[in-house]
Amino acid sequence: MIYEKFASYYDQFVDYELNDIYFEMITKYYKEGTAIDIGTGTAPLAIKLAKNNFTVTGTDISEKMLERAYNNAVLEGIHLNLYIHNILDPINMSYDVFAMTSDVINYLKNEDEVKRAFSNISAAMTDKSIFTFDFLTPQHMTKVHNYKEDILLEDDVLEWHVAKTNVPNQIRHTLKFGNITETHYQTTFPLKKYKEMLNESGLVILKKRKTDERIILLCKKG
């Protein structure tokens, strides 16, 4: 995977302002406790929570990302519990806070996979748990159609092209890094559809925040 090779550069592209919004929303409900950061990447939010009285688990499907997350945690002098985990698989522990940031949800293929992820999270939540995540808006998907960028990294150039597909509210990322070329898809839905899928999983929306690109939701069991 390109993300395996890209992991050592990933921190350059972290949206720290987005993580600050998450931290602000989470700490209105919990000042300390247990948290799981699903799709943690290199763990910027997990580390921020761990530095502020939370016991944090970070999960990702990429071993290289978790290695980077571990190194970042060591540099910050904090401990994270890090595990390889797919968000379509059950979560075997309960936490006070469930977070899934930076449009991780949009890498799921379709509505059925989103419902499955929501159901897995809901099943692991207690009545006092909160779940917060974000999704790219359909308007953003249209805005980034035909976006191209060449990003100069230390030893190579990452060529990045974004285009809409024939599937509604879906974009295709074509990434070329060295001699590796990959295609990744992101699919989103209108807010109304996410609300329906959350409700089917027994979750209700408590708070909503909007940025230029995405909507952030904070939920609990209903």
pLDDT per position as a tens digit, 7-58: 555 555 668 899 999 999 999 999 999 999 999 999 999 999 999 999 999 9
pLDDT mean over 94-111: 97
pLDDT reading at 153 higher than 80? no
Measured CA to CA, the distance from residue 102 to residue 19 in angstroms comes to 9
Looking up tokens 């997990």 gives 46
Q: Which structure tokens are listed for 207? A: 């708070």
pTM: predicted TM-score of the whole model, two decimal places: 0.93
Which whole-number Å values give the CA distances from 139 to 17, 147, 169, 177, 178, in the listed order? 21, 14, 8, 28, 32
**What mean pLDDT, rounded, does the chain reach?**
93
Q: Write down the pLDDT at residue 152.
A: 81
Residues in the chain: 222
pLDDT value at position 108? Answer: 97
CB 72 within 8 A of CB 11: yes
Side-chain-facing half-sphere of 210: CA atoms under 13 Å = 7
Report the relative pairing of strands 54-60 and 33-38 from DSSP bridges. parallel
Find out whether 9 and 154 touch, Cβ atoms under 8 Å.
Answer: yes
Q: Which of 21-35, 66-80, 141-155 has the lowest mean pLDDT?
A: 141-155
Look at residue 48 in the predicted model and tell me its pLDDT. Answer: 97
Give the integer Cα–Cα distance in Å for 19 and 24: 9
Residue 156: pLDDT band by 50, 70, 90 thresholds?
confident
Q: Is the dihedral of CA 113, 98, 218, 103 positive or negative?
A: negative
